[in-house]
Amino acid sequence: MSLDSTAAKDVISLKVKEPEVSKDLKPLKAIIHGPPAAGKTRLANRLAQQYGAKYITVKTMIEDTLEELRENIAKEQERLEMKAIKGEKEDKEQVEEEQEEEEEEELGEEEEAGGGIIEEWQEQIKFITMAMTESEDGKLPDEYVVRLMKAYLAKEVCQTRGYVLDGYPKTIQQYTAEVQDD
């Protein structure tokens, strides 16, 4: 087929128009339900793979949330350590005592603010793990799962790539709480 052929020109014109068409497309957002052993997970995985969407179960959402909290703690601790090291170097270079005292006070305030968010993240991790270990079925309460899932689905990756929920919401309470604010 030569470049002058009508078919080649049609293909080229479609490729040129494709970005205009695709900008109006919305990412896939699907919920897969069905009876046990009906192939829900297989279907959800295939859909997520086919459309480049995020495959989500409650278990993966909780694992990702815990991992993200731990990463945030590590990054914040590293940032505070770097800030402290930088503060120490600046202190050695300072000549006047007043400037040194002001910087140490500011540094202390920043460390307290950073430490507060670290403590908050640690409390969240502690709550999630304790709630799961203390419950009879090893699961989080519905209201907490709904809150975590809403925050998870609001993340950029889920909003831009889309998602396929496998087996969530499981209960009527989860469903009504999930759609209630939408």
Non-local CB neighbours of 158 within 8 Å, separated by 6+ positions: 54, 56, 152
The SS3 assignment for 155 reads coil
User: What is the CB neighbour count within 10 angstroms for residue 160?
Assistant: 10
51-61 pLDDT tens trace: 999 999 999 99
64-88 pLDDT tens trace: 999 999 999 999 999 888 888 876 6
d(CA 107, CA 40): 53
157-169 pLDDT tens trace: 999 999 999 988 8
> What are the start-end ranges of the E strands in the chain?
28-32, 54-56, 162-166
DSSP label of 162: E
pLDDT < 70 stretches in the chain: 1-24, 87-115, 179-182
What pLDDT, on a 0 to 100 scale, did the predictor assign at position 110? Answer: 45
d(CA 175, CA 151): 15
The SS3 assignment for 69 reads helix
Which amino acid belongs to residue 102? E
